[in-house]
């Protein structure tokens, strides 16, 4: 079968395609099928090309990423045209909105008219509507209504839906009013994941002037929690361990990292905080290796219950001992006390206490690090999880044949 994947973002922007679609595509190819991945270009404004490797998917980029409504319509037309030319047996849309959602709708329309027999598959890794990403990304009223409609339509009309979390799978079944065609497919690691590769933390520590200080890492987009809560937790840690440094890797979508920096200065904590912003994917293993522990706050919201945080996956795969709120998929990946530590949602005191317990017990940290790394490589790999997706696609194609 020929599977054509369509995404809303380029491979270097956000993480859905690079961390989710591409590893799934490689597993489909490994099992003897053909995969074409079509995405907007996020690099050179004039870039429009395709590339492929004998052992991987063909990747077609359609550029550039537009900034205006006419530009979006033009990009949508070019992407849909590329999909039509590929003549897929399976159209696999990643995200129930945007270009991917439009392609799904078009092929559904063509199929009703007998112009294609393609299986319509959809991947969802976030709740996009009210209570989810719509509450995080300000947009015009018409765009909000369009996204909410697209999500509901796509979830109910796709033949196969792959859902990245238990919460999403449950919600998809409720929208479809059936369990048939819904595949639970959480995020996983592959040898290409930054969490898979061992890094050297010494150069990072030296460059930041933290050679001997304990480091608490936070790897985030500031989507899952309010900046003030992280500072509250860290402040309690400092009361017992004033030599600890908080290392923040990442930045917010709307300047939350600047709010965090201002609050740290106001609380007199700036000297104990290092913010490095986004770093290149190839540099992440070094930052993971530099950390003694990591915090992963997750407010108990629909957004967090539905999402499947790839950053948490990478931290655990890298063997960083993590203290996280027991929300959503964190409870799937972390076995409390063995592969990480879980605390009641929103309990800042519990998070600070468990972080201190790890900092004060190096042997326990070592045990959790080894168990987390082993668990991710044994249970949470695309080689292990992708076959369920492939079987569903093969079955749907066979049924339509």
Give pLDDT, residue 72: 74
235 with 350, same domain: the answer is yes
- Count of domains forming the chain: 2
Q: Are residues 223 and 350 in the same domain?
A: yes
Mean pLDDT for 264-269 is 96
Residues 288 and 395 in one domain: no
Within this chain, do residues 213 and 270 fall inside the same structural domain, yes or no?
yes
Task: Let me know whether 108 and 249 are in one domain.
Answer: no
Question: Residue 98: inside a domain, yes or no?
Answer: yes
pLDDT of 312 > 90? The answer is: yes
230 and 89: one domain? no
pTM: 0.93
CATH at 17: 3.40.50.2000
Domain match, 158 and 177 both: yes
User: 212: helix, coil or strand?
Assistant: coil
Q: Which pLDDT score, from 0 to 100, does residue 12 have?
A: 66
- Is residue 295 within 8 A of residue 313, CB to CB? The reply is no
What per-residue string of b and e applies to 177-186 under the rule 16 or more CB within 10 Å gives b? Answer: eeeebbbbbb
- The pLDDT tens digits for 218-241 are 999 999 999 999 999 999 999 999
197 is a domain residue = no
Parent domain of 65: 2-188+381-400
Same domain, 233 and 287: yes
Share of the chain above pLDDT 90, in %: 79
**pLDDT tens digit sequence for 89-131:** 999 999 999 899 999 999 999 999 999 999 999 999 999 988 8
User: Is residue 297 a part of any domain in this protein?
Assistant: yes
Could you tell me if 164 and 32 lie in one domain? yes
Q: Is 266 a domain residue?
A: yes
Q: Residue 107 to residues 5, 103, 156, 320: CA-CA distances in angstroms?
A: 13, 6, 14, 44
| pLDDT range class, residue 54, cuts 50, 70, 90 | low
How far apart CA 163 and CA 125 sit, in angstroms, is 6
Does the residue 326 lie in any domain? yes
User: With pLDDT > 70 as the criterion, what percentage of the chain qualifies?
Assistant: 95
pLDDT digits (tens, 9 = 90+) for 2-50: 999 999 887 765 677 889 999 999 999 999 999 999 988 765 443 344 5
* Residue 9 and residue 31 in one domain: yes
Residue 196 lies inside a defined structural domain of this protein: no
pLDDT of residue 308: 95
Residue 62 has pLDDT above 60, yes or no: yes
As a whole number of angstroms, the distance between CA 56 and CA 26 comes to 5
Determine the pLDDT at residue 77: 83
* φ, ψ of residue 88 in degrees (nearest 5): -75, 150
Q: Is residue 193 part of a domain?
A: no
For residue 194, being part of any structural domain is answered with no
Q: Is the pLDDT of residue 389 over 90?
A: yes
Three-state DSSP state, 293: strand
How far apart are the C-alpha atoms of 176 and 345, rounded to whole Å?
30
Checking if the pLDDT of 69 tops 90, the result is: no
Residues 222 and 303 in one domain: yes
CA torsion 195-182-127-28 (nearest 10°) is 40
Residues 207 and 210: their CA atoms lie apart, in Å, by: 8
Same domain membership, residue 175 and residue 48: yes
């Amino acid at each position: 079968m020929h599977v054509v994947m369509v995404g809303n973002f380029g491979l270097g922007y956000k993480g859905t395609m690079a961390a989710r679609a591409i590893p799934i595509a490689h597993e489909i190819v490994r099992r003897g099928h053909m995969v074409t991945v079509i995405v907007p270009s996020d690099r050179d404004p004039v870039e429009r090309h395709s590339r492929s490797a004998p052992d991987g998917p063909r990747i077609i980029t359609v550029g550039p990423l537009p900034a205006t409504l006419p530009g979006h319509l033009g990009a949508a037309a070019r992407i849909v045209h590329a999909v039509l030319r590929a003549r897929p047996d399976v159209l696999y849309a990643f995200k129930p909105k945007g270009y991917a959602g439009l392609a799904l709708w078009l092929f559904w329309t063509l199929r009703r008219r007998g112009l294609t027999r393609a299986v319509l598959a959809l991947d969802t890794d976030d709740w996009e509507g009210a209570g989810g990403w719509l509450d995080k990304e300000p947009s015009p009223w018409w765009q909000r209504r369009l996204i909410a409609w697209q999500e509901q339509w796509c979830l109910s009309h796709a033949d196969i839906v792959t859902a990245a979390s238990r919460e999403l799978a449950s919600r998809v079944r409720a929208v479809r009013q059936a369990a048939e065609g819904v595949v639970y497919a959480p995020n996983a690691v592959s040898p290409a994941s930054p969490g898979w590769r061992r890094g050297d933390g010494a150069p990072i520590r030296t460059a930041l002037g933290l050679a001997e200080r304990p480091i608490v890492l936070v790897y985030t987009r500031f989507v899952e929690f309010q900046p003030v809560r992280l500072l509250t937790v860290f402040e309690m840690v400092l009361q017992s361990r004033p030599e600890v440094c908080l290392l923040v890797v990442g930045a917010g979508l709307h300047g939350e990292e600047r709010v965090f920096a201002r609050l740290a200065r106001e609380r007199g904590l700036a000297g104990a905080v290092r913010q490095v912003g986004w770093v290149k994917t190839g540099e992440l293993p070094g930052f993971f290796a530099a950390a003694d522990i990591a915090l992963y706050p997750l407010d108990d919201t629909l957004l967090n219950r539905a999402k499947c945080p790839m950053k948490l996956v990478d931290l655990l795969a890298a063997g960083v001992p993590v203290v996280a709120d027991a929300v959503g998929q964190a409870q799937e990946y972390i076995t409390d006390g063995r592969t990480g530590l879980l605390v009641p949602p929103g309990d800042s005191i519990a998070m600070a206490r468990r972080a201190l317990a790890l900092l004060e017990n190096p042997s326990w940290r070592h045990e959790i690090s080894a168990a987390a790394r082993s668990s991710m490589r044994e249970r949470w790999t695309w080689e292990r999880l992708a076959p369920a997706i492939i079987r569903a696609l093969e079955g749907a194609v066979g049924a339509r044949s």
